[in-house]
Amino acid sequence: MLKFLIQRSLQNVLLLWVVSMIGFAVLYLAPGGPLAQFALVPGMSQEQLLKIAEQMGLNRPIHEQYWEWFTRLASGDWGHSYRDGQPVLWIIGSHLLATLELMGTSSIIAVIVGVWVGVLGAIKRYSLFDYLATIGAMIALSIPTFWFGLITIYVFSVKLGILPPGNMYTIGNGSFWDYVHHLIAPSLVLGLVTVALWSRYMRSSMLDVINQDYIRTARAKGVPERQVLTRHAMRNALLPMITVAGLQLPTLLSGALVTETIFTWPGMGRLFLDSLSYRDYPVVMGILVLSAVLVLIGNLLADILYAVADPRIRMN
């Protein structure tokens, strides 16, 4: 197990390094590069631009610049926002929790519904329910999140008036129930895509398990069918879902960005878009790198958890 842990951690450190290089490349190799935001300032002369370039060390070799950028990143100095001068990490940190709350809530809903639909679909394979669930999941994966969000707002806020169209709290009301009331619509919208993924993966995982010999043995022993399905089949079918949870992280983060924008949820995704429109590159780059790091950590955790839960994985 220790060997597995060390091996995986080393792999991920290597991957983190490649991720940082891509982040650096996006910032520095894109047209205009890090100077782009200064070039837009009215009245900026070419000489001033050159001076700024020198101050920022842009005339030095690219690998030196990268190394400096990387060491600062690694030591937690992610620069300061152009907008209000706050440290980038602090700004992101103050928005991260809202995103995690949204992603967490939607994931809980998605897992419960998705696992249920997937298991039922596998048990009643090729039934009307299975057929409708498969088509439904396909369509759910194809609906643009922002459009689904707009429809949700139109139906539940504009027409029925039972859910707030956005924000985290009603102004002047900071109660927990008010917060929950605001969380319902965005988490359902964000959950739509992941619930489809969960149900499809759960269905195929359950189908894999259900045809195994030990399930037949359990049935032959006279274990009640319900118990065979829950205790024997579902428990094992759920194991690969740990990996699925890790793999879904990029989708979930992308979805959160869109959902937060539609519902003006004060999270990291909305901060990213706000920063883009202000050309606040330190924050943009910070969120870009951080989102990749979050995905990396999520996948590593999923790997380790899976290895803990299923000893067969550690062997190869």
Partner 1 sequence: MSHSATTDQLITAGEPTLQRNRAIDRFMRHKLAVAGIAMIVFLVLVCFVGPYLLPFDDLFIDIRHRFAPPFVSVHVLGTDPLGRDHLARLMMAGRISLTIGFAAMIMAVCLGTVIGAVAGYYGGVIGAVLMRFVDAMLCFPSIFLILAIAAFIHPGVISITIIIALTSWMEVARVVEAQIKSLRERDFAVAAELMGGSDRYIIFRELLPNAIGPIVVAATLNVANAILMESYISFLGYGIQPPTPSWGNMLNNAQQYLQKAPWLAMFPGLAITIAVTSFNFIGDGLRDALDPRLDH
Query: Footprint of partner 1 on this chain (CB under 8 A)?
Result: 14-15, 18-19, 21-22, 26, 30-32, 36, 135, 138-139, 141-147, 150-151, 153-154, 158, 204, 207, 249-251, 253-254, 257-258, 261, 272-273, 276-277, 279, 284-285, 287-288, 291-293, 295-296, 299
Closest approach of partner 1 to the CB of residue 293, in Å = 8
Q: CA-CA distance, 62 to 21, in Å (whole number)?
A: 11
Please, which residue, 30 or 62, has the CB nearer to partner 1? 30
Please, which residue, 117 or 285, has the CB nearer to partner 1? 285
Specify the amino acid at residue 268.
M
SS3 of 25-59: the string is HHHHHCCCHHHHHHHCCCCCCHHHHHHHHHHCCCC
Please, which residue, 218 or 292, has the CB nearer to partner 1? 292
Please, which residue, 62 or 276, has the CB nearer to partner 1? 276
Closest approach of partner 1 to the CB of residue 178, in Å = 23
44: left (phi over 0), alpha (psi -120 to 50) or beta: beta
| Phi, psi (degrees; rounded to nearest 5) at 106 | -65, -35
Q: CA-CA distance, 241 to 199, in Å (whole number)?
A: 10
Please, which residue, 218 or 252, has the CB nearer to partner 1? 252
Q: CA-CA distance, 299 to 84, in Å (whole number)?
A: 34
Q: CA-CA distance, 157 to 161, in Å (whole number)?
A: 4
Q: Token pair of 50, please?
A: 């050159």
Closest approach of partner 1 to the CB of residue 240, in Å = 15
Minimal CA–CA distance to 186: which of 287, 294, 267? Answer: 267
Closest approach of partner 1 to the CB of residue 311, in Å = 25
Please, which residue, 6 or 30, has the CB nearer to partner 1? 30
- C-beta separation of 203 from 240 below 8 A: no
Closest approach of partner 1 to the CB of residue 61, in Å = 22
Please, which residue, 162 or 180, has the CB nearer to partner 1? 162
The label of the residue with tokens 């359990």 reads: 218
Closest approach of partner 1 to the CB of residue 54, in Å = 22
Closest approach of partner 1 to the CB of residue 142, in Å = 4
Please, which residue, 21 or 112, has the CB nearer to partner 1? 21
Closest approach of partner 1 to the CB of residue 190, in Å = 13
Residue 178, exposed/middle/buried by CB under 10 A (0-12, 13-18, 19+)? Answer: middle
Q: CA-CA distance, 27 to 5, in Å (whole number)?
A: 33
Closest approach of partner 1 to the CB of residue 176, in Å = 29
Please, which residue, 218 or 299, has the CB nearer to partner 1? 299
Q: CA-CA distance, 286 to 60, in Å (whole number)?
A: 22
The label of the residue with tokens 């009215």 reads: 42
Q: CA-CA distance, 136 to 223, in Å (whole number)?
A: 33
